[in-house]
Chains A and B, each alone.
Chain A
């Protein structure tokens, strides 16, 4: 969607809020769907990717910020129904932060490109996933270092280990990323069609 005006319209706000709510559902979809191969499903990355592609860079980032704030205000919207201000000191908070950047970068990629084909959505989604994993895991490593305050010369949690933990959900997220790339042009078209129809009716 085109976002050139500075002021947020009512529609901008409801879109962003709805995506924040979708993030909450996506984070806890495991409640509805049993784990795949022992790994509980979360669709956070998936929804964040779609926020970037469907809402655009600015609104996408705003909606992910709203999601983060809602979680910090105490609503259990993060994975495993966690939430509250204490999440600030959890080691996985970096992932929540990267969702904002991820949606922004992805929106930018889509906005800069002239085509709206599958390839561009795929490129944007893969870049987004890489950002998410790279920054999130790095944050996790440093959070462990900082909170656990390991004495000098000792690193129980090595950078490699942090990555080791993250390899478990990786295959699932890669597949979901590709799915996101397949789905987003479809939803994109449907929504744009709906909007085009609406403006025609009004005119």
Chain B
């Protein structure tokens, strides 16, 4: 149950862990677009080296990064195969009917899969080294200007925190209701299709009603304690912007002209 609360976060004491969530969020969002600037071996090399440096700095074990990669691995493999066999440019290495393996094709395949890999690794590193609560706080802070446009930034951040808090609770509740209904003779794991789906009903109706009740109790408690939006609200966890955060952003900003100069 614990891993649901902390999400992908892997506790640690690396530089990346200690950075301000705002700088990490900004850097990752910028990098997603910057990666598209690369278009030859040198520029892709720069980006791959940067990614490797980030992995080393995070001191997160590779197993965790692989776990983040798994859902997208199939797309990367399809990408590689598609581009390797169907791009016709450069010298032919291998030619058989439909399949043409050319040097140009291989290069294209490598580039595009590396681009995808880098994007996924960067975004995974962010969620591996930052707790969801920190990300929520960072987002709320970064999006503050949108309040002027009457976008409820604070409210969204609060809803995210409440949802975070109640996911494990509702999971436990689901388990409890299932046990209670099994004791009353509901079969969850066998029987024909329609019966199985019917069995979900006595699980969901109490679950929804109890969720609504919890929501009402929580709102009552909030109001009783004088909640009135973010006006004059103070925070327990304060975000601290340090030198390393400025440095990270500097690296990202410098990267843009470097890539523009080096790209072919």
Contacts and interface: CB of A to CB of B under 8 A. Distances in A.
Interaction A to B:
yes
Interface of A: 7-11, 13-22, 24-25, 29, 32-34, 36-37, 41, 43, 46, 50, 54, 62-63, 65-67, 69-70, 73-77, 80-91, 144, 147-151, 154, 156-157, 172, 175-176, 179, 183, 186-187, 190-191, 194, 198
B196 interface: yes
B163 A148 contact: no
A149 B108 CA distance: 10
Nearest to B88: A151
Given A18-B163, A179-B200, 9 more contacts: A14-B214, A14-B219, A15-B215, A24-B170, A32-B174, A73-B139, A89-B123, A150-B82, A179-B197
A70 B132 contact: yes
B75 A91 contact: yes
Top 6 closest A-B pairs, CB basis? A74-B127, A17-B162, A85-B123, A74-B7, A11-B219, A14-B215
Contact of A175 (B123, B152, B193, B219): B193
A21 B211 contact: yes
B200 A73 contact: no
B262 interface: no
Contact of B227 (A10, A21, A89, A172): A10
Contacts of B142: none
A77 B197 CA distance: 22
Nearest to A178: B197
A112 B9 CA distance: 44
B193 A36 contact: yes
A19 B215 CA distance: 9
A91 B120 CA distance: 13
A80 to B, nearest CB: 8
Contacts of B75: 89-91, 144, 147-148
A84 B124 contact: yes
Nearest to B158: A13
Contacts of B28: 85
B112 interface: yes
B3 interface: yes
Contact of A15 (B68, B169, B189, B212): B212
A8 to B, nearest CB: 5
Contact of A148 (B68, B78, B152): B78
A85 B24 CA distance: 12
Interface of B: 3-4, 7-9, 28, 68-69, 71-72, 75, 78-79, 82-83, 86-87, 108, 112, 116, 119-120, 123-124, 126-128, 130-132, 135-136, 139, 152, 155-156, 158-160, 162-164, 166-167, 169-171, 174-175, 178, 188-189, 193-194, 196-198, 200-201, 204-205, 207-209, 211-216, 218-219, 222-223, 227, 229
Contacts of A85: 28, 123-124, 126-127
Given A66-B163, A183-B205, A18 B215 contact: yes
B222 A14 contact: yes
Contacts of B215: 11, 14-15, 17-18
Contacts of A74: 7-9, 126-128, 130-132, 135
A82 B71 contact: yes
Contacts of B216: 11, 14, 194, 198
B208 A13 contact: no
B60 to A, nearest CB: 13
Name which of B169, B175, B219 has the most chain A CB atoms within 10 A of its CB: B219
13 contacts: A10-B222, A11-B216, A14-B162, A17-B160, A17-B166, A24-B167, A25-B167, A46-B204, A62-B156, A62-B159, A80-B71, A157-B78, A175-B193
Given A14-B215, A150-B86, A190-B209, A33 B193 contact: no
Contacts of A187: 205, 208-209, 212
Contacts of B178: 32-33
A76 B82 contact: no
Given A25-B174, A84-B124, A149-B79, A13 B159 contact: yes
Contacts of A11: 215-216, 219
Contacts of B127: 73-74, 83-86
A16 B162 CA distance: 9
A198 B78 CA distance: 57
A60 B83 CA distance: 41
